[in-house]
């Protein structure tokens, strides 16, 4: 059986006591582990606006989105526990009930969605794995994009932001119709915050690419 190549590498470290306490407090309420859930259909409703952010990092963007869009539901996927724990504490501090955080790989999560139920998927500055020998670890490829499309409702959109030009070329091959834009205002209240990676890219003078797209069949 061919071994699946993950788009991330975990450092071997123990979960901090503070983080373990946070996970127990919110487990199966606002925090879910992919290993423990067979599917997420009970958590998402077709009648509501469901927005997924893959790799939410420090949580600043998803928190900002949820605070400014209380009528929408936000789902954050992350593989690093410290980011999840700190974001859960911010959810509690801001008394939010429209964010759900999931620990696990994006492809595994999408596999557990049994129907098109997402309205938007945000992927902001995914790890480009710049060395050619590591490109197989990149999350964004045609197979993943087709998988993402299968989870989107009619007229759903995927929004990808990157500063790596060769990654941009790969994205262009996978999209049938797409818009490359610098105008985040097209997204209205869902306009993302600038991440630390975006700010760093701008400081270093790298070109930024934003894809707001439909996916190729």
Active site residues: 127
How far apart CA 86 and CA 22 sit, in angstroms, is: 9
How far apart CA 74 and CA 91 sit, in angstroms, is: 12
> What values do phi and psi take at 177, rounded to 5?
-125, 135
**C-beta separation of 76 from 4 below 8 A:** no
Tokens of 34: 């992919």
Instruction: Kindly state the helix (H) or strand (E) to which residue 68 belongs, with its residue range.
Output: helix 60-68
Q: Using the 8-state DSSP alphabet, how is residue 94 labeled? A: T
**C-beta separation of 207 from 173 below 8 A:** no
How, if at all, do strands 50-54 and 73-78 pair?
parallel
Q: Order across the sheet with 178-180: list the strands.
A: 31-33, 99-103, 73-78, 50-54, 118-124, 152-162, 209-213, 178-180
Residue 181: count of CB within 10 angstroms of its CB: 14
> What values do phi and psi take at 101, rounded to 5?
-105, 140
């Amino acid at each position: 059986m061919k071994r699946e190549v993950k788009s991330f590498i975990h450092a071997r470290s123990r979960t901090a006591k503070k983080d373990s306490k946070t996970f127990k407090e919110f487990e199966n309420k606002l925090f879910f582990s992919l290993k423990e859930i067979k599917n997420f259909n009970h958590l998402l409703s077709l009648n509501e606006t469901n927005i997924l952010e893959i790799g939410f990092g420090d949580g600043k963007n998803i928190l900002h989105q949820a605070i400014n869009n209380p009528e929408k539901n936000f789902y954050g996927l992350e593989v690093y526990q410290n980011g999840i724990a700190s974001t859960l504490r911010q959810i509690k501090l801001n008394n939010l009930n429209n964010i759900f955080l999931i620990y696990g790989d994006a492809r595994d999560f999408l596999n557990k969605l049994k129907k098109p139920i997402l309205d938007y998927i945000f992927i902001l500055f995914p790890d480009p794995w710049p060395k050619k020998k590591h490109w197989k670890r990149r999350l964004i490829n045609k197979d993943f994009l087709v998988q993402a499309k299968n989870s989107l409702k009619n007229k759903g959109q995927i929004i990808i932001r990157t500063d790596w030009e060769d990654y941009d070329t790969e994205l262009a091959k996978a999209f049938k119709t797409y818009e490359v834009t610098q105008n985040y205002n097209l997204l209205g209240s869902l306009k993302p915050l600038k991440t630390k990676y975006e700010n760093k890219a701008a400081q270093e003078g790298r070109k930024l690419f934003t894809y707001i797209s439909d996916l190729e069949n």
